[in-house]
Amino acid sequence: MAEFTVDIRGRINNTYLPDSKYLWALLESIVNSIQSIEESVITDGRIDVYAKRHNDEQLKWDLLNAQMTGDTLKPELTSFESFSVTDNGCGFTSENYISFRTADSSLKWRKGCKGIGRFLWLKAFDKASIESNFQENGQWQKRVFDFTFDGIVPDENISESDLKESKTTVTLDGFRNPYRDKCPKTLEVLARKIIEHCLIYFLLGKCPKIILRDSLGESINLTSLYESIIRDSLHQDHFELDGNEFIIYHVRMPEGASAHELHFCANDREVRSIRLDKFFPNLQRKIADDTETGFFYCGYLTGEYLNNKVNNSRTGFDFGDDQQLDFENNVPEKKIIEAAKEYVFTYLKEYIDEINSRKIKRINDFVAHTQPQYRLLLNQRPEVVDSIKPELSDSDLELALHAEVLKWDMDARQRGD
């Protein structure tokens, strides 16, 4: 039987990776390491992520000189140019290596893997280098190779190993644009992005120890960071739609987020997110609470239904044609969002009500003392304040009220027609 071959360059060209997913290749590699540690059934799993910066030696000197001279204008951080992910999981055994060489491998389907992660590596990087030390059939072996547009080099890449421990390193080298320019330059933001993507592993207590460091010597323990900023704020709700069970995890993010968002997750990782200010106009800024920093809300929605509907590139979901939903027992995305919104509102009701009270007082005072022509609008259509954003400037607030008057007039005309 003839062997079926794959054009790697063509496969990568046909793999969709929007620039908004600038870290997807790295994040998928980290998830691979988590799953490798799960398969090895070890209790002391560890992942080390090393981020190398462009022109790092010169940057080290510049930072040192700034420190010695007391210069408050520190040199600007350079972009990351490569990443290495090292774990002590099961490694590139014969079974895993055959799976790696097989496009769209079904080996890890039970974990929700689509077999396309390694193609994402070459979508965002020039090449991936793999060095794996593992035990198989009672012997320690080492496998070393590169994965490029030309395939796997060299083809014969296994030998006996003197190292008596499991250790696999995947190095993603040559960070390409537009992904490189989109990537954050600070290590802390990078750490929070990793936690955000792998949050379900953290939530369920399934995440091994992860240490992130860069070529300047800075280091962050992601487990400690998660414990300090997220763990204590956790809350969850369970609900059912058309026989499908969902869980929404409510998380308060004091740092590392810039908007209130609902994240759709599949197979223990975040896939896509939607901003909540489009549904709740009062959620425009950080919510003030009894802490100094306040927080942004992040909801993480999970369920077996989402696991089954995630698309092949894990960048979105295939919920099907709305016309066929009743026949295929599908749940439309809109229905899922509407259900999740109710739980989000209930969780944040105390804060939303407070924001709304301040907003109503602000609008009433503005109309009473500055723009009395809008009194009739507020008297006849008090619900219009729900769609107006809080904390607007006087000019923006007047524009918002004027827009509501125009809508009112248009509604009246349509009813007349």
* Same domain for 241 and 203: no
> Comparing C-alpha atoms, which of 381, 382, 393 is closest to residue 356?
382
> Comparing C-alpha atoms, which of 301, 300, 319, 299 is closest to residue 309?
319
Does some domain include residue 266?
A: yes
Higher pLDDT, 400 or 112: 400
- Asked which of 229, 252, 283 is the last residue of a domain, the reply is 229
- Asked which of 201, 229, 257 is the last residue of a domain, the reply is 229
Sign of CA dihedral 116, 118, 122, 125: positive
Name the token pair of 50. 């090393």
Range of the domain at 377: 355-416
Q: In what order do the strands lie in the sheet with 244-253?
A: 235-241, 244-253, 296-302, 261-266, 269-275
Name the token pair of 305. 């239904």
Does some domain include residue 164?
A: yes
> Comparing C-alpha atoms, which of 207, 264, 247 is closest to residue 230?
207
Number of folded domains in the chain? Answer: 3
Higher pLDDT, 145 or 315: 145
* Same domain for 250 and 210: no
pLDDT in tens, 223-280: 998 888 777 667 889 999 989 999 999 988 877 678 899 999 988 778 888 999 989 9
CB distance 241 to 336 below 8 Å: yes
* Same domain for 157 and 244: no
CB count within 10 Å of CB 9 equals 13
- Domain of 78, CATH number, reads 3.30.565.10
pLDDT in tens, 134-161: 999 889 999 999 998 888 888 888 899 9
CA angle 63, 65, 68 (to 5 degrees): 110
Does some domain include residue 3?
A: no
Q: Is 58 helix (H, G, I), strand (E, B) or coil?
A: helix
* Same domain for 215 and 77: yes
- Supply the pTM of this predicted model: 0.68
> Comparing C-alpha atoms, which of 246, 212, 211, 253 is closest to residue 231?
253
Average pLDDT value for residue range 295-299: 90
Q: Give the whole-number percent of the chain exceeding pLDDT 70.
A: 88
What is the total residue count of the chain? 417
Q: What pLDDT score was predicted for residue 113?
A: 45
Does some domain include residue 342?
A: no
Q: Reply yes or no on whether the pLDDT at 294 is more than 90.
A: no
Rounded to 5 degrees, φ, ψ at 169 are: -125, 125
Does some domain include residue 19?
A: yes
Q: What pLDDT score was predicted for residue 116?
A: 64
Q: Reply yes or no on whether the pLDDT at 204 is more than 80.
A: no
Is 260 exposed, middle or buried (CB count within 10 Å of its CB: 0-12, 13-18, 19+)? Answer: buried
